[in-house]
Structure 1
C-alpha cells in the first residue's frame, strides 16, 4: 500500500521541465560562459568582487532562461503589447523625471532604480513579431510603415537619453524582424547604398569634418568625438584615442597563442580601460592570442547558426521572427563589441555576451536565450 503513495524521486519529477531543451544551443552557451569566467577571473580578480558577481549574474541569467523556456511562444506573444507599452511608458518617464549620471539620463526610480532601455531590447522585437503575426497573409506596404513607427519610437527616446549603444541594439533587433517578415529588397538597397556612400565620404573628408569647432547636426558632441577618434585615434593618444589605441596594442601583443592566462601586461598594469566590461575582449586577446580569438568567434558563430536553425523550425510566424531577432541580438552584441575594441567601429557601451561584466545585460541575455529555448522546446514537444 505504501508503494502506491510513494513519491517519485526528484530527478524524475524535474525531468518534464528539462524535456525538449536544445542541447547544441545549451552547449554553445556553456562554452561561452566558461570563456567568460576565465576572462573575468584574470581581468577582475583584483577588481573587488567582480568575478564572484559575474558568476552570480550568470546563475541568475540561467534561472531566467530556464523559467522563460517553460512559457510557450503563444503566451510570450500575449505579453508583447503590455511589455512594449510598459517599456515605452518608462522611457517617457525617464525623459521627464529620470536620473542623470555622467551626463546621461537613462535611469528612473520606481521603488528601485532601473534602466528601461534594457527592457526594449526584447520588448521591441516582441511587439514587431506580434504585429506581423497579426498581419500574416495580408501584408501591405502600410504595415511595414507602421512597424517602422513602432521601432523608431523607442529608438528615438533611447537616443535622446543619450545612449547610442543601446539604441543600435534595439534598432538592429527591430530591423531584423522587419527584414525577416519580408521587407522588399527595393526598400533595403537604397538606404544601404546611402549609408555606404556616407561612410566613404566621411573617411575621405575626415580632416575637414573633424576640425575643432565643426559641429555635426543630429549627433551629440561626444558621439561626434567618438567617430572622429575612430578615424584618427592618434590625434589625441592620451585622451579620447586612449581606449582604442590601448585595445589594439593589447590585441596585437597577444600574437598567435597569447601571453598566457593571468600574464597579460596591458591588462594587469591597467593600461586597458574598462577591462572587465566593454574592453574585456582586449584583455582576453592579450592572454589567449589569435588562436583563442578564433575559438571564441567560433563559439559565437555556432550559437548564431543554431539560433537561425531554431528560427527556421519555428511553428508560427511569430516564433520564427522572434527567434531570428533574438539571434541577431547576439550577433550585434558580439560584432559591435569586437569591432569597437579592434578599432573598426566607434566606441559605444555594448558588452560582449557572456564575457563582459554587467548584471542587467546578463539578465537580458538570459531572457533572450529563454525565448530561443521556448521556441525549440515547443517544436520538439509537438513532434514527440
Structure 2
C-alpha cells in the first residue's frame, strides 16, 4: 500500500524565510529609499551615473539586509568578538599601511580599497552589547569602565586618521549601548554640563580663539577651522565658509513648498558643493521646501521609534541593547547631517541615511537594518 504526499509549492518552501519580517519597518525604509532615489535623480542629473549607481547600492543593501535578517541574534552575539577584533586590527593596519588622501589615512588596500572604520559602526555596539550580556545581573562600576575602554580603543584609532565624523558616529553608537545598559545619570549630567559650558566659552571668546596661530588642545587645525567657520562662515565666504553659506541659501530659497522637482537653481547651477553626498539635504530642501523637510523628518522619526519598539520587545538584554543603539544611531546620522547643512553644526562629513550617495554607507545601513529585522523575527518566534 503506497502513501501519497502532496508536494509543497514553491511559496510554501520559501515562506519561512520571509516570516517574521517587521512590515512597518520595511515600509518605512522603502519610503525613505524612494525619497532618496527621487532626490538623487534630480541632484545627480548632470553628475555622471549617480542615480544608477545609487539604485545598485540600494539593491545590494537590500540583499545584505535580507541575508543578515536570517541570522538569529544568538549567532550575531557569537560574531561580536571576532568582528570587533577584525575591525581594530584593520584600523591598526590602516595606520601602518593605509592609503592617504587629502591628508587623511582612512583607506586600506586588501585586494580592494576599503574603509575599515565603517566596520566599527556595527562592531562597536555589537561588542558592547555582548559585554553587557555577559555581565547581566552583576554590573558594577568597573564593568562600565571596561566598556568605555572597549569603545575608546577604535574611536582613538579613527580620530588619529583623522576622521572626526566617523569617530563621532562610532562613539555615539557605543554610548547608546552603555546608556541603555544602565549608566547612572549622576555620571551623564556632569559630562553634558561640561560640554555646554565648553561650547558657551567657545562662542563667547570666538574672536580671540579663532585667530590664526591659536592652538586648541586636542584638536587638529582643520577641526578648529570647522568650528570657527560654523560660528562665522562669512569670514571666508568663498573658501571655508562656502559650503555652509550655499547650503543655507538653498534651504531658505525652498520656502514652504519648494521650487519643485528638478527646479532647484542652487542645485542645478552647481552652487551646492557635494550636492549628492554630504549636502544632499540642501538640494532636497530647495526643491521640496519646508513641507518636504517635515515629511522627511517624520520618516526618520518613524524609523527610530519603530526600532525602539523592536528593542523594547526583544527577549534578551543583548538584543535590546543592540536594537536600541542601532535605532538611535539613525537619529545621530540624520540630526548631524541636517544640522551641518543648516549651519547649526560643524561640517564633519556625515551622510544622510538612504538619501546621500555612497556604496559603503548604504551597505552599512543594510547591515544595521538586517540586525533589527533579525531581532524582530526572534521576538516573533519567542511569542509563538
TM over 0.5: yes
1:88 matched residue in structure 2: 88
Following superposition, the deviation at residue 5 of structure 1 comes to: 7.0
Structure 2 CA distance for partners of 1:266 and 1:141, relative to 1, 3 Å: same
Structure 1 unaligned segments of length 5 or more: list them: none
2:126 matched residue in structure 1: 126
Structure 2 CA distance for partners of 1:15 and 1:102, relative to 1, 3 Å: same
Following superposition, the deviation at residue 11 of structure 1 comes to: 2.6
2:62 matched residue in structure 1: 62
Structure 2 CA distance for partners of 1:137 and 1:208, relative to 1, 3 Å: same
1:364 matched residue in structure 2: 364
1:315 matched residue in structure 2: 315
**2-side partners of 1:305 and 1:204: how far apart?**
37
- Tell me if the contact between 2:315 and 2:382 (Cα under 8 Å) persists in the aligned partners: no
**2-side partners of 1:36 and 1:95: how far apart?**
34
2:179 matched residue in structure 1: 179
Following superposition, the deviation at residue 7 of structure 1 comes to: 4.7
1:31 matched residue in structure 2: 31
1:238 matched residue in structure 2: 238
SS in structure 2 opposite 1:186? helix
1:218 matched residue in structure 2: 218
**1-side partners of 2:3 and 2:257: how far apart?**
60
**2-side partners of 1:31 and 1:110: how far apart?**
35
Tell me, yes or no, if structure 1 residue 327 matches structure 2 residue 327: yes
Judge which range, 217-226 or 266-275, deviates more: 217-226
Aligned length: 384
**1-side partners of 2:237 and 2:298: how far apart?**
33
- Tell me if the contact between 2:336 and 2:345 (Cα under 8 Å) persists in the aligned partners: yes
Structure 2 unaligned segments of length 5 or more: list them: none
- Tell me the alpha carbon deviations over residues 333-361 of structure 1, each in whole angstroms, 9 at most, x when there is no partner: 10100000000000011100000000000
**1-side partners of 2:4 and 2:47: how far apart?**
56
2:114 matched residue in structure 1: 114
Following superposition, the deviation at residue 215 of structure 1 comes to: 1.6
1:278 matched residue in structure 2: 278
- Tell me if the contact between 2:278 and 2:351 (Cα under 8 Å) persists in the aligned partners: yes
Following superposition, the deviation at residue 81 of structure 1 comes to: 0.2
Judge which range, 315-324 or 13-22, deviates more: 13-22
Report the RMSD for the aligned CA atoms in angstroms: 1.3
**2-side partners of 1:2 and 1:371: how far apart?**
46
Tell me, yes or no, if structure 1 residue 290 matches structure 2 residue 265: no
SS in structure 2 opposite 1:100? strand
**2-side partners of 1:152 and 1:293: how far apart?**
35
2:72 matched residue in structure 1: 72
SS in structure 2 opposite 1:108? strand
1:263 matched residue in structure 2: 263
- Tell me the alpha carbon deviations over residues 78-107 of structure 1, each in whole angstroms, 9 at most, x when there is no partner: 000000000000000011111111110001
**2-side partners of 1:13 and 1:286: how far apart?**
48
SS in structure 1 opposite 2:108? strand
**2-side partners of 1:122 and 1:288: how far apart?**
32
Q: When the two structures are superposed, what TM-score results if normalisation uses the length of structure 1?
A: 0.98
**2-side partners of 1:212 and 1:105: how far apart?**
26
- Tell me the alpha carbon deviations over residues 295-315 of structure 1, each in whole angstroms, 9 at most, x when there is no partner: 000000000000000111111
**1-side partners of 2:267 and 2:62: how far apart?**
29
Large movers: runs of 4+ above 6 Å: none
SS in structure 2 opposite 1:294? helix
**1-side partners of 2:318 and 2:153: how far apart?**
21
Tell me, yes or no, if structure 1 residue 346 matches structure 2 residue 346: yes
Following superposition, the deviation at residue 2 of structure 1 comes to: 12
SS in structure 2 opposite 1:344? coil
1:191-210 aligned at under 5 Å gives the runs: 191-210=191-210
- Tell me the alpha carbon deviations over residues 146-181 of structure 1, each in whole angstroms, 9 at most, x when there is no partner: 000000000000000000000000000000000000
Following superposition, the deviation at residue 285 of structure 1 comes to: 0.1
SS in structure 1 opposite 2:349? coil
Structure 2 CA distance for partners of 1:3 and 1:257, relative to 1, 3 Å: farther
**2-side partners of 1:288 and 1:4: how far apart?**
61
Q: When the two structures are superposed, what TM-score results if normalisation uses the length of structure 2?
A: 0.98
**1-side partners of 2:258 and 2:13: how far apart?**
46
